[in-house]
Structure formats: structure tokens, C-alpha cells
């Protein structure tokens, strides 16, 4: 996985954990997989568009937050698939995010019980 590449003009490589050694972005293949998961109602993975146009957060069922920077878009094919998935990702993510918030609220209000 120690593949040399450029990140914003800097020498970088994909680390063992499949993140960029320069900006910490997740690998585009992993982000694509997360997008596919996001449109599957059975998988709790969702994607937060964030307020920055170049940044996405991926929230996996394990609760870990991963980020993806759009400058790591590898190919036009990749971008095309991402664009097709995007409106569905937004729609499913909104529902899943709401569910996650409700779940957290419920746990908080039940938190006092032994």
C-alpha cells in the first residue's frame, strides 16, 4: 500500500491505514465504498457533506469519523460514479444522521438507569 503519489503538489503516499501521509484523507477507493454503503439502508454508514466544499466526513457504524478531501479524486470515471451516487447519498445520509441523533438522545435520557 506504500504507493507514492502527489497531494496538493507535495510528495505523499498511502499509509498502512490507507490514509494520505500529507493531508490524512482516506483512500478514494474506501470513500467510494463508503458512498455505496451510505445508499444502503441496511448499513448505518453515512456521509456528512460538511460546510467545506472540498471536504467530506464519513461516519461508519463503529462511530469513527473519517475524512475525505476532494483533491484525492483519482479519475473521471470515479468522479462520474460519485456524482451519480451523490444525490442518493445526501438523502440517505440525512435519514441516517437523524436516526443516529435520536438514538444518542435516547441513550442519554436512559443513561441514569443502572
- What is the smallest separation between the CB atom of 72 and Zn ion, expressed in angstroms? 6
Q: Which three cell numbers stand for residue 99?
A: 436516526
Residue 33 C-beta: closest distance to Zn ion, Å: 18
Residue 26 DSSP symbol: B
Residue 69 CA to residue 54 CA, distance in Å, equals: 6
The stretch among 25-33, 51-59, 74-82, 104-112 that binds Zn ion (CB under 5 A) is 25-33
The CA–CA distances, whole Å, from 100 to 42, 107, 112 equal: 14, 11, 20
Task: Give the residue with the Cβ less far from Zn ion, 15 or 88.
Answer: 15
User: Which residue stretch of 23-31, 32-40, 73-81, 101-109 sits at the interface with Zn ion (rule: CB under 5 A)?
Assistant: 23-31
Q: Which of 14, 20, 66, 93 binds Zn ion (CB under 5 A)?
A: 20
Q: DSSP secondary structure string, 53-78? A: TTEEEEE-TT--EEEEEGGG---HHH
Q: In terms of CB distance, is 18 or 100 closer to Zn ion?
A: 18
Is 26 a residue that touches Zn ion (CB under 5 A)?
A: no
Amino acid at each position: 500500500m506504500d504507493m507514492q503519489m502527489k497531494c496538493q503538489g507535495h510528495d505523499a503516499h498511502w499509509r498502512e491505514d490507507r490514509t494520505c501521509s500529507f493531508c490524512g484523507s482516506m483512500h478514494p477507493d474506501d470513500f467510494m465504498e463508503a458512498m455505496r454503503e451510505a445508499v444502503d439502508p441496511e448499513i448505518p454508514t453515512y456521509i456528512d457533506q460538511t460546510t467545506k466544499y472540498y471536504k467530506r466526513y464519513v461516519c461508519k457504524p463503529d462511530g469513527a469519523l473519517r475524512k475525505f478531501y476532494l483533491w484525492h479524486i483519482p479519475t473521471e470515471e470515479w468522479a462520474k460514479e460519485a456524482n451519480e451516487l451523490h444525490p442518493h447519498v445526501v438523502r440517505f445520509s440525512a435519514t441516517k444522521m437523524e436516526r443516529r441523533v435520536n438514538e444518542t438522545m435516547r441513550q442519554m435520557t436512559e443513561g441514569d438507569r443502572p
